[in-house]
Chain A
């Protein structure tokens, strides 16, 4: 497809379960961003990749959150031992340019519900 694709669209996890969220950026896009959007809030920055390098992970809320982009294309956000406060929409965005956060295109997001 032409846009940023995220899967799954919806995920229900039992508390304590590990989850993996996938992001397929637009082909050729160098920069990839993950954001967390709680219900009724604006998105909050989690982490940034330039190709396969994770250059900024300052927004990851705890060491239970881990992101990777091993070949500089597809990225996975993994959350270990999920907690109820992890329930949110996780948005992925990609950009053609390095650090091009102002020219980023967002995917539809993955809605994670921890029960």
Chain B
């Protein structure tokens, strides 16, 4: 059982559609990150959220950290084929010394032209 549950696991949409990916846990995190990973590459950090209720925007991507710091969401507006990839959320558990990131299982997104 993963500490961070991501949904959906797979998502296939048409170019121009909007989508939301969810990352949920029963545990509290001191911070939470979202990564994007392409085939054959390592994860690349998109954003870090730290404060409960925080909202961050990165062009067409909007990230939100839940008030209780147990969950997060990633919303993509007007998806493009270049957004295709594996999206991973990862958190630093509040009771951990900060040495370990716990990752979700990932959401594999395909955006068709």
Chain A residues with CB under 8 Å of chain B are: 4, 31, 33, 35, 40-45, 48, 55-56, 58-59, 91, 93, 99-102, 104-109
Interface size class of B (residues with CB under 8 A): 20 to 34
Closest residue on chain B to residue A46 by CB atoms: B100
Contact A102 B42 (CB under 8 A): no
Contact B2 A42 (CB under 8 A): yes
Pick from A42, A45, A105: contact of B104, CB below 8 A: A42
List residues of chain A with CB within 8 A of the CB of B31. 102
CA distance A100 to B48 in the complex (A): 13
Contact A99 B99 (CB under 8 A): yes
CA distance A40 to B6 in the complex (A): 13
CA distance A106 to B41 in the complex (A): 9
Q: Is the interface of B mostly helix, strand, loop or mixed?
A: loop
CA distance A55 to B96 in the complex (A): 13
Contact B44 A101 (CB under 8 A): no
List residues of chain B with CB within 8 A of the CB of A107. 42
List residues of chain A with CB within 8 A of the CB of B102. 45
Contact B101 A108 (CB under 8 A): no
Pick from B48, B97, B105: contact of A42, CB below 8 A: B105
Pick from A41, A43, A48, A108: contact of B99, CB below 8 A: A48
B43 at the binding interface (Cβ < 8 Å): yes
Closest residue on chain B to residue A3 by CB atoms: B42
Contact B101 A109 (CB under 8 A): no
Contact B43 A55 (CB under 8 A): no
Closest residue on chain A to residue B88 by CB atoms: A42
Q: Which of A43, A56, A93 has the most CB of B within 10 A?
A: A43
Pick from B88, B101, B106: contact of A101, CB below 8 A: B101
Given contacts A59-B100, A101-B99, contact A43 B43 (CB under 8 A): yes
Contact A42 B98 (CB under 8 A): no
| Residues in B19-75 with C-beta less than 8 Å from chain A | 31, 33, 40-45, 48
